[in-house]
């Protein structure tokens, strides 16, 4: 099992958006994927409630149960575990980072967001887990993101993921129907960015990216021998 934690002490920066888009990408590539929603606001869980295709699973859990539920997820053979965390909850963020193989810190290239990132960057220095900032809601002007990247890497000492996510309607609109951008606009720019982020994430985790085995409607695609027969059932944990 590989675990990815989405962390940023600031809210509204894209933790849940990146968590769900990555989780859906792993699931669509045939990995049994589980999202643990550690935010009392439960936006990942609400996305799942609205979702017709019930994969990937999303479980809303109390932070105190994290270690136990991570263990259960491993025991039932989860392939990829995604931890979506709450803002303003340092101890939970720290514990999620400790459970993770990779920490992603979504952030927007605004001066307010960058200033607020110091707390998160300092917190991540307490754990020995690879962590990267992911620039999100990036405007079309390249210089804004370039400057943000310089500040994050230089001043905060946090490496920056080479894939940037633009400010795009698809990321927001898809949530209404419990979908992801790659499902509502498979040929769109958001879908292409998510595909690149997915590939990069696989590389960081030392996992093969694999082929698409599920369509957005949850149907199996005949890409590889055996891929058709997979039964995508996922026992519930933590409930
Ligand atoms: N790249 C993006 N382009 C457009 N809207 C975005 C993007 N990323 C996030 N959003 C929107 O911004 C809001 C906050 O994002 P969210 O992922 O919930 O942040 P967090 O989980 O960090 O609080 C949501 O309405 C989301 O749909
Ligand atoms: Mg959130």
CATH numeric code, 2-229: 3.40.50.300
Query: Taking a C-beta distance cutoff of 8 angstroms, is the pair 165, 136 a contact?
Result: yes
Dist. CA 99–CA 92, nearest whole Å:
11
What is the pLDDT, as a whole number, of residue 234? 52
What is the pLDDT, as a whole number, of residue 227? 40
| C-alpha 224 to ligand 1 mean position (Å) | 35
What is the pLDDT, as a whole number, of residue 233? 46
Question: How many CA atoms, within 13 angstroms, populate the side-chain half-sphere of residue 121?
Answer: 20
pLDDT tens digits, one per residue of 29-52:
999 999 999 999 999 999 999 999
Q: Which of 13, 164, 172 to mutate to test the pocket of ligand 1 (most atoms within 8 A of CB)?
A: 172
**Above pLDDT 90, what percent of the chain?**
86
pLDDT tens digits, one per residue of 125-148:
999 999 999 999 999 999 999 999
Position 160 pLDDT exceeds 50: yes
Ligand 1 is surrounded, with C-beta below 6 A, by: 8, 11-17, 43, 136-137, 165, 167-168, 171-172, 175
| C-alpha 43 to ligand 2 mean position (Å) | 6
> Rounded to the nearest 5°, which phi and psi values hold at 80?
-135, 130
Q: Which ligand is nearest to the CA of 15?
A: 1
What is the pLDDT, as a whole number, of residue 213? 85
Average pLDDT over residues 49-69: 96
What is the pLDDT, as a whole number, of residue 215? 67
Position 119 pLDDT exceeds 90: yes
Dihedral (Cα; 217, 222, 227, 229), 10-degree rounding: 80
Q: Where are the domains positioned within the chain?
A: 2-229
- Average pLDDT in the chain: 92
Dist. CA 47–CA 216, nearest whole Å:
15
Position 28 pLDDT exceeds 80: yes
DSSP code, position 228: G
**Above pLDDT 70, what percent of the chain?**
90
pLDDT classification of 214: cutoffs 50, 70, 90:
confident
Q: Which ligand is nearest to the CA of 17?
A: 1
3-class DSSP state for residue 207? coil
Q: Which of 9, 13, 14, 89 to mutate to test the pocket of ligand 1 (most atoms within 8 A of CB)?
A: 14
Q: List 35's β-bridge partners, or say none.
A: 58, 82
pLDDT classification of 211: cutoffs 50, 70, 90:
confident
3-class DSSP state for residue 9? coil
Query: Taking a C-beta distance cutoff of 8 angstroms, is the pair 120, 92 a contact?
Result: no
Q: Atom 25 (ligand 1): residue with closest C-alpha?
A: 172
Position 216 pLDDT exceeds 70: no
| C-alpha 87 to ligand 2 mean position (Å) | 8
> Residue 155 contacts by C-beta under 8 Å, 6 or more apart in sequence?
none
Query: Taking a C-beta distance cutoff of 8 angstroms, is the pair 121, 158 a contact?
Result: yes
């Amino acid at each position: 099992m590989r675990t990815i934690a989405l962390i940023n002490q600031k809210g509204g920066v894209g933790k849940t958006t990146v968590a769900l888009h990555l989780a859906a990408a792993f699931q669509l590539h045939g990995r049994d994927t589980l999202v643990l929603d550690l935010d009392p606001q439960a936006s990942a869980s609400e996305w799942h409630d609205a979702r017709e295709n019930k994969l990937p699973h999303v479980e809303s859990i109390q932070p105190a149960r994290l270690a136990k539920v991570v263990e259960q997820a491993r025991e039932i053979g989860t392939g990829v575990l995604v931890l979506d965390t709450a803002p303003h909850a340092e101890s939970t963020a720290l514990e999620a980072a400790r459970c993770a193989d990779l920490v992603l810190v979504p952030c927007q290239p605004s001066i307010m967001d960058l200033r607020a990132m110091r707390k998160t960057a300092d917190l991540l220095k307490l754990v020995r887990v690879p962590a990267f900032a992911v620039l999100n809601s990036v405007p079309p002007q390249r210089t804004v993101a370039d400057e943000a990247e310089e500040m994050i890497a230089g001043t905060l000492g946090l490496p920056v993921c080479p894939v940037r996510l633009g400010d795009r309607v698809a990321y927001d609109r898809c949530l209404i129907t419990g979908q992801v951008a790659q499902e509502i606009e498979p040929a769109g720019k958001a879908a292409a960015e998510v595909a690149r982020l997915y590939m990069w994430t696989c590389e960081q985790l030392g996992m093969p990216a694999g082929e698409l085995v599920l369509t957005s409607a949850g149907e199996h695609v005949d890409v590889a021998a055996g891929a058709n027969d997979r039964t995508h059932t996922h026992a519930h944990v933590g409930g």
